[in-house]
Structure 1
Amino acid sequence: MGASNPLIIVAAIGGIAVAIQAQFMGLMDKQIGTLESMFITYGSGGLLVGLAMLINRGGNLAAWPMVPWYALSAGVLGLVIVGAIGYGTARLGLVTAMTVIVAAQFITGAILDHFGILGADLRPIDLTRLSGMGLMLLGTWLVVR
């Protein structure tokens, strides 16, 4: 587990960023609307990534044709994610929205891993993971009710 500690820290930082972003997007959604908050989120993020790529002289963008066609829909899915976060947080509250989103991510991830769908490495659902999903669903129900 020692070698994976930095990866766990990076994942935790990402989780913290998602919660903070959700709160910010919920605030924007209430003030200016869902599409407008998505535009600001994606526009500012796209600008920063574009600048980083310019500094990095384009990076490895020329290799994009080698990416599976379905992976190129990540940007569209990102719009769904960002829109759902902003819309849901503004109407359900941060904890409820994040609980439902995380539970859905966990269960979807487990299914993708179990069957190796969309290029995922095979990681079978065992009793431990199944128990975790059950606890997550119970926790989601407790938060939402």
Structure 2
Amino acid sequence: MLAVLSGVFSGALLPLQTSVNNRLRQSVGTPLMASFFSFLIGTGALILATWVTGGRPWPQLGLATGQPWWMFTGGVLGVMVLTGNILLFPRVGSVQTVILPITGQVITGLLIDTFGLLRAPQIPLGWTRVGGAFLVLAGATAAVGMIRARGRNRSECVSTGQSPGVWLWRGLGLLMGACAAMQVSVNGQLGVVLGAPVEAALVSFTVGTLTLLLLLVATRTPWRGVAVVGRSNPWWMWIGGLLGATIVYATAALGPILGTGMTVVSMLLGMLAGSLLIDTFGLLGATRRKVAWTQVLGLLVIIIGVALIRVV
């Protein structure tokens, strides 16, 4: 029971991390710079965690000698997910920022399992898993508010966030989900090779930090040079990296205890609950949004769909 509650708690950290990083973006000026600081802080935290748990501040990379190159791409995929979250959040809200990547993650996860990609165990695509996928898509459709009352005209759709441009951002959300699914497989395999999930998380964050540093230099991204903490810069805007490090570690650590299915479901429950709370109460500086009953119904349908795909 404690492990399940840990999964729910860890899942609830994801929308909080998105809100925190979005606030950091407002201070440092760009999503890329905010992602860099988030990854840098998370890397520092994981170095300390590796030191405490393993007696050394670095992973045993020698154990990964001869392994395929893609085992070290988890950090690059994480950069895409985190930066995409920062871009997506202010345009569609925290609920959609969570739901759309879930949809992409489930679809990509089905493909990985069906064809045994990234050394994943091959699982046949039965009717139960297909039905679960359709439930997830139907739930996501309801949750993002694409089911509209009959008779609503185009101008009303635009005013409520249904402009044509919003579909591009929703497409980004689906792509982020695909990257997240691949990241889980990549980091999971690396954790098995290294024998410690915290070391796999450290490798992932280090690669992500270096990737972001190269992008910052290549694009000459400006930094506003904000004060570390002040009246206009709350202290909590710097903890996104700590939240991200916790989430990555929890995913790897809870899997062997609960199994993949229960880990995904418990963390999904936490993510959905956390995102609803952020939108309803406008937590951490987020814009306060009214949550419709269709969104709540959609979230419940998604939970059922994910359970069919991962548990049954």
TM-score (norm 2): 0.42
Per-residue CA distance 1:104-141 (angstroms, 9 max, x = gap): 21221111110111111111222112212322343455
Cα deviation for residue 3 of structure 1 reads 1.2
User: What letter corresponds to residue 48 of structure 1 in structure 2?
Assistant: T
Is the 2:280–2:291 contact (alpha carbons within 8 Å) kept by the matching residues of 1?
yes
1:100 and 2:266 are equivalent in the alignment: yes
Per the alignment, residue 31 of structure 1 pairs with: 193
Aligned-residue RMSD, C-alpha: 2.4
1:129 and 2:308 are equivalent in the alignment: no
1:15 equivalent among 177, 183, 198: 177
Q: Taking structure 1 as reference, are residues 22 and 67 closer, same or farther at Cα in structure 2, changes over 3 Å only?
A: farther
1:119 equivalent among 264, 285, 293: 285
Unaligned runs of 5+ in 1: none
Single out whichever of 102-111 and 135-144 deviates more from structure 2: 135-144
Per the alignment, residue 234 of structure 2 pairs with: 68
Per-residue CA distance 1:80-110 (angstroms, 9 max, x = gap): 11112222445523x5544433332122111
SS of 1:19's partner is: helix
Is the 1:19–1:98 contact (alpha carbons within 8 Å) kept by the matching residues of 2?
no
Per the alignment, residue 83 of structure 1 pairs with: 249
Larger fraction in helix = 1
SS of 1:122's partner is: coil
Q: Taking structure 1 as reference, are residues 48 and 115 closer, same or farther at Cα in structure 2, changes over 3 Å only?
A: same
Name which structure has the greater RCO, CA cutoff 8 Å, separation 6+: 2
Cα deviation for residue 48 of structure 1 reads 0.8
Per the alignment, residue 212 of structure 2 pairs with: 49
Cα deviation for residue 71 of structure 1 reads 1.6
Q: Distance in 2 between matches of 1:60 and 1:84?
A: 32
Single out whichever of 44-53 and 121-130 deviates more from structure 2: 121-130
Single out whichever of 60-69 and 19-28 deviates more from structure 2: 60-69
Single out whichever of 82-91 and 44-53 deviates more from structure 2: 82-91
Which structure 1 residue ranges, 4+ long, deviate > 6 Å from structure 2? Answer: none
Is the 1:34–1:87 contact (alpha carbons within 8 Å) kept by the matching residues of 2?
yes
User: What letter corresponds to residue 45 of structure 1 in structure 2?
Assistant: G
Is the 1:113–1:123 contact (alpha carbons within 8 Å) kept by the matching residues of 2?
yes
Cα deviation for residue 67 of structure 1 reads 3.9
